[in-house]
Structure 1
Amino acid sequence: MLEVGGVFGQAGRDEQQSAEFDPAVNILPPQRNRTARVVVNDVSSLKADRMAKTVFYSFHYEQDVHRVQLVRNINALEGQPLLNSQEWEEVRRRGDQAIKDWIHDQMAYKKAVIVLIGKYTASRPWVLYEIEKAWADKKPLLGIRIHALSSLGSVDTAGSDPFGKVASVGAVPIFDPTTRDWAGKIDSKATYKKLSDNLERWSSQGATRLS
Structure 2
Amino acid sequence: MKRQVFFSFHYDNDAWRVSQVRNMGVVESQKLFSDNSWETVRRKSDPAIKSWIDNEMKWRSCVVVLIGAETANRKWVQYEIEHAWKEGKGIVGIYIDSLEDSTGKQSKRGKNPFDYFCIDTTFNYITKNSIPADSNEVRLSSIIKTFDSSYVSSKYVYEDIKNNIEKLIEEAIKIRNKYPK
Q: TM range, normalised to the smaller chain?
A: 0.7 to 0.9
Aligned to 2:144: 172
- Structure 2, unaligned runs of 5 or more: 119-125, 127-138
Show the counterpart of 1:107: 57
Provide the C-alpha distance between the structure 2 equivalents of 1:97 and 1:166, rounded to a whole number of angstroms.
22
Tell me the CA shift for residue 88 of structure 1: 1.1
TM-score normalised to the size of structure 2?
0.81
Q: 1:77 is aligned with what amino acid?
A: V
Shift of 1:150: 0.7
* Aligned-pair CA distance for 1:178: 4.2
Query: How many residues in Structure 1 have an aligned counterpart in Structure 2?
Result: 155
RMSD over aligned CA atoms reads 1.4
The Cα of 1:166 is off from its aligned counterpart by: 2.2
Q: Report the CA distance between 1:149 and its aligned residue.
A: 0.5
The match for 1:5 is none
SS at 2:167's partner residue?
helix
For 1:59 and 1:166, the matched residues in 2 are separated by 17
Listed as ranges, the gaps of 5+ residues in structure 1 are 1-48, 180-185
Shift of 1:210: 2.2
Q: Which runs of 4+ in 1 moved over 3 A?
A: none
User: In the TM superposition, what is the alpha-carbon distance from 1:91 to its structure 2 partner?
Assistant: 1.3
**What is the match of residue 20 of structure 2?**
70
Question: Displacement of 1:201 after TM fit?
Answer: 1.5
Q: Corresponding residue for 2:110?
A: 159
Match of 1:135 in 2: 85
Rounded Cα–Cα distance in structure 1 between residues aligned with 2:41 and 2:48: 6
Partners of 1:109 and 1:134 lie apart in 2 by 11
| CA displacement 1:175-200 (0-9 Å, x = unmatched) | 11240xxxxxx211111111111111
> What are the Cα deviations for residues 70-112 of structure 1, in whole angstroms up to 9, with x where unaligned?
0011000011111112111111222111100110110001011
Q: Which residue of 2 aligns with 1:189?
A: 155
Distance 1:178 1:66 in 2: 21
Computing the radius of gyration from Cα coordinates, the structure with the larger value is 1
Which amino acid is 2:44 matched to? R
More RCO (CA 8 Å, sep 6+): 1
Q: Take 2:44 and 2:158, find their aligned partners in 1: how far apart are those partners?
A: 36
1:147 aligns with 2:119: no
1:95 maps onto 2:45 in alignment: yes
Structure 2: how far apart are the matches of 1:163 and 1:173? 9
- Residue 164 of structure 2 is aligned to residue 198 of structure 1: yes
Matched to 1:203, the amino acid is: I
- 8 A Cα contact 1:148 1:178, kept in partner: no
Please tell me the residue identity of whatever aligns with 1:138.
G
Amino-acid identity (%): 38
**AA matched with 2:180:** L
Aligned ranges 1:2-151 → 2 under 5 Å: 49=1, 53-151=3-101
| Structure 2: distance between partners of 1:104 and 1:74 | 25
For 1:141, give the aligned amino acid.
I
- 1:44 matched to which residue of 2? none
